[in-house]
Amino acid sequence: MPFIGLAEGFVLAAFREAGVPLQRIRPAITRLQEELGPAHVLASRSLYTDGAEVLYDYAEASGDTPEGKSARQLVVARSNQRVFQEVVDSYLRRIDFAADGWARAIHLPQYRAADVVVDPERSFGIPIFARGAARVEVVLGRFKAGESVETLSEEFGVPAEELFDALRVHTDTAA
């Protein structure tokens, strides 16, 4: 999957988590593309900077239609500004954008303490720890092979609390 598709899927997941039904997302994306331009608008900085305003206006123009109600689920008005609902905003804050305005890296949300990033320019887009740049799968593999968290932390430059967090995410017994 190309990185741009991953970035768009990440934003779609935020829309879904906000409670928007899949069949109502397409008209909102079409409106965003019409207003903001990019074909892959969900992977563009313009979504983050101008998207809430566009969706708010779309919701107002659509009235009580299902599409309008769905768009309203994504946007709130705060201090005379239209901003994304907190759940969508929290996902968008996890995307780093390049100078050209396109998604460059994604900080994965399932980790609480660890900063795990997917960046196509580093480690071929395989998830890595932001600190130390070690592949998560390599570090976890070494842990499963019997190495201690302390040794791994020292060798890979990843704080122990981040390693424990990655273990939590990647084991079935973690809560």
Percent of the chain whose pLDDT exceeds 90: 69
- Is 163's pLDDT higher than 50? yes
Tell me how crowded residue 31 is: count the other CB atoms within 10 A of its CB: 21
User: pLDDT per residue over 108-162, tens digit each?
Assistant: 999 999 999 999 999 999 999 999 999 999 999 999 999 999 999 999 999 999 9
Q: What is the set of domains in the chain, with CATH numbers?
A: 3-96 (no CATH), 108-170 (1.10.10)
For the stretch 49-95, pLDDT in tens is 899 999 999 999 999 999 889 888 899 887 777 888 898 999 999 99
Q: What is the mean pLDDT of the chain?
A: 91
Instruction: Name the 3-class secondary structure at 128.
Output: strand
pLDDT in tens, 136-145: 999 999 999 9
The pLDDT > 70 percentage for the chain reads: 98
Which tokens hold the place of 158?
A: 């990843």
pLDDT computed for residue 140 by the predictor: 96
Q: How far apart are the first and last CA of the chain?
A: 30
Q: Which residues in the chain belong to E strands, given as ranges?
A: 75-78, 81-84, 95-97, 103-107, 116-118, 128-129
Phi-psi region of 67 (alpha: psi -120 to 50; beta: other; left: phi over 0): alpha
pTM of the full structure: 0.85
Q: At 39, is the pLDDT very low, low, confident or very high (cuts 50, 70, 90)?
A: confident
CB 2 within 8 A of CB 10: no
